[in-house]
């Protein structure tokens, strides 16, 4: 599975532990979304998958909309990094 590239702009994740938590939250949200679908993606399920309380999760993400925005950004950044690597490879033709 593609590695997520979390954004560094998250104001609550300034420490290494905070960045680990945000990464774990995004991975859990992605996994639940893929396995069970959007309708089953709840803050409670994400928190349980991360082994934290909903209150702790809400410290990092106040609502599901913000969490999904960051999840989408992280997924897109992963693809953009792959595209940049491909474009920088001189052995590949433009085709």
Provide DSSP, 21-80: HHHHHHHHHHHHHHHH-GGG--HHHHHHHHTS-HHHHHHH-SSHHHHHHHHHHHHHHHHH
- Residue 93 falls inside a structural domain: no
95 domain residue, yes or no:
no
Domain count, the chain: 1
Give me the tens of pLDDT residue by residue for the chain, a chain 95 residues long. 456 655 555 666 778 888 899 999 999 999 999 999 999 999 999 999 999 999 999 999 999 999 999 999 988 988 888 888 888 888 888 77
- What's the CATH code of the domain at 61? 1.10.357.10
Within a domain: 2: no
Q: What is the rounded distance in angstroms from the CA atom of residue 79 to the CA atom of residue 36? A: 23
Q: Judge whether 92 and 85 are in contact, CB under 8 Å.
A: no
pTM to 2 decimals?
0.78
For residue 94, being part of any structural domain is answered with: no
Domain range for 39 is 16-88
């Amino acid at each position: 599975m593609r590695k997520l590239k979390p954004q560094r702009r998250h104001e609550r994740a300034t420490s290494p532990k905070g960045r680990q938590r945000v990464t774990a939250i995004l991975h859990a949200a992605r996994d639940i979304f893929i396995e069970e679908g959007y309708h089953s993606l709840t803050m409670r399920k994400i928190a349980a998958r991360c082994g934290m309380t909903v209150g702790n999760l809400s410290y990092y993400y106040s609502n599901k909309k913000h969490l999904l925005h960051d999840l989408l950004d992280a997924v897109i950044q992963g693809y953009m990094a792959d595209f940049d690597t491909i474009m920088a490879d001189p052995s590949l033709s433009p085709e």
